[in-house]
């Protein structure tokens, strides 16, 4: 999805995610009308990566806590129990595609990480649970070229393996 600043790209994502109600039309996932569902009720269907790295995570919580929160998206669960049994496979799988050692970052607060590290971890969070649609809002805007390439490689692999419909917002059509 390419367009100038202020053209409604992020608002379109807000409508799909349920943050904003559409002024007309309907939103369907797998043939089911979800237009009247709240953002919380749509969460199991929608994976979203924001351009602003602070919107995708809780800065005061550790990386591990943020990943655990993402792992329970859309279902009732006990957070402390999940923290005790957090799957290391998630970290291993993500680390091999991201060229980032997530294990060494687990105990660090998200707010203490670089923008690139936060964005990369936010993508891992958005993809922990396969969804019906993945919304990527300028995912590489704050990243250096190497991190951007790693992030996009991870995203493409995830999309292909899980066959997830994906919309990417960009200002650069190349």
Q: Could you report the per-residue pLDDT of 80-137, keeping only the tens digit for each?
A: 666 665 656 666 666 666 666 677 788 899 999 988 888 888 988 888 877 889 999 9
Structure tokens at 106: 């687990």
Question: To the nearest whole number, what is the mean pLDDT of the chain?
Answer: 84
Confidence check: pLDDT of 6 > 70: yes
pLDDT of 171 higher than 80: no
pTM of the model: 0.84
- What is the C-alpha to C-alpha distance for residues 148 and 19, in angstroms, rounded to an integer? 27
Tell me: pLDDT of 43 over 70: yes
DSSP label of 111: G
Give the containing element (helix H, strand E) for 63.
Answer: helix 63-71
pLDDT of residue 85: 58
Q: Burial, 73: exposed, middle or buried (Cβ in 10 Å; 0-12, 13-18, 19+)?
A: middle
Tokens of 92: 């291993």
CB proximity list for 31: less than 8 A, separation 6 or greater: none
């Amino acid at each position: 999805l390419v367009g100038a600043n202020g053209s409604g790209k992020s608002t379109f994502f807000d409508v799909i995610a349920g943050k904003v109600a559409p002024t007309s039309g309907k939103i369907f996932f797998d043939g089911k009308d979800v237009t009247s569902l709240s953002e919380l009720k749509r969460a199991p269907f929608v994976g979203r990566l924001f351009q602003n790295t602070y919107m995708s995570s809780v800065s005061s919580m550790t990386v591990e806590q943020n990943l655990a929160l993402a792992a329970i998206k859309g279902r009732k669960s006990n957070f402390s129990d999940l923290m005790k049994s957090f799957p290391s496979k998630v970290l291993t799988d993500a680390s091999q595609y991201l060229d980032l050692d997530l294990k060494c970052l687990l105990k660090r607060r998200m707010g203490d990480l670089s923008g690139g590290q936060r964005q990369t971890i936010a993508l891992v969070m958005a993809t922990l649970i396969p969804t019906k649609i993945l919304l990527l809002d300028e995912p590489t805007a704050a990243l250096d070229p190497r991190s951007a390439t790693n992030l996009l490689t991870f995203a493409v692999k995830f999309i292909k393996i899980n066959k997830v419909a994906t919309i990417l917002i960009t200002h650069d059509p190349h």
